[in-house]
């Protein structure tokens, strides 16, 4: 009978030891490493050739008009401003993403979709990767300027 109590005591001790505090694990997870080795800057501003802050002033109307013409040719086949299409609606995107992120997505969509967690979420939601449109940095800047004119457009609910 004493052996049964002894075995039960050992099992109980092992059970309590296994249910110990995870405080060490919680502290290790308090500041997780950036996904896939991305820097904090890349997480906020995207992966691509735009590696410094884009300075924005008042909307340049002429540049925005150039951007709208580019949008109609290169972006409109997959994007609408006010509603979901093949890709996400782009109205108000400048309120959700940094200028650098938007330009890097235009200039480097393949790597963004492969490595950036926000781009991966969009791919999972829309099931269509953004295709490379061969835009230059100047074109991307013009497109950004057009999107700035669409900042107050609220997309229709999905």
State whether the Cα torsion 128-147-101-96 is positive or negative.
negative
CATH code of the region 60-151: 1.10.760.10
> What residue ranges do the domains of the chain occupy?
60-151
10: Cα separation from own chain's centroid:
51
b/e per residue 40-58 (b: at least 16 CB within 10 A)? eebbebbbbebeeeeeeee
pLDDT at 25 exceeding the cut of 50:
no
Express as a percent the part of the chain with pLDDT over 70.
77
pLDDT at 6 exceeding the cut of 60:
no
Q: Tens digits of per-residue pLDDT, 50-101?
A: 999 999 999 999 999 999 999 999 999 999 999 999 999 999 999 999 999 9
Q: Tens digits of per-residue pLDDT, 101-128?
A: 999 999 999 999 999 999 999 999 999 9
What pTM does this model have? Answer: 0.78
Q: Is residue 84 exposed (0-12), middle (13-18) or buried (19+ Cβ within 10 Å)?
A: middle
The C-alpha angle with vertex 68 and arms to 67 and 69, in degrees rounded to 5, equals 90
């Amino acid at each position: 009978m004493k052996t049964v109590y002894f075995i039960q005591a050992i099992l109980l001790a092992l059970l309590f030891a296994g249910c110990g505090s995870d405080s060490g694990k919680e502290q290790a997870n308090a500041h997780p490493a950036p996904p896939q080795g991305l820097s904090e800057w890349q997480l906020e501003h995207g992966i691509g050739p735009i590696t410094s802050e884009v300075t924005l002033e008042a909307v340049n109307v002429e540049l925005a008009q150039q951007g709208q013409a580019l949008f109609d040719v290169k972006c409109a086949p997959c994007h609408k401003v006010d509603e979901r299409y093949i890709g996400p609606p782009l109205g108000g995107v400048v309120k959700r993403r940094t200028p650098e992120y938007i330009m890097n997505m235009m200039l480097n969509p393949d790597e963004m979709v492969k490595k950036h967690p926000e781009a991966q979420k969009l791919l999972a939601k829309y099931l269509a990767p953004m295709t490379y449109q061969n835009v230059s940095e100047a074109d991307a800047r013009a497109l950004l300027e057009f999107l700035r004119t669409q900042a107050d457009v609220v997309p229709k609910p999905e």
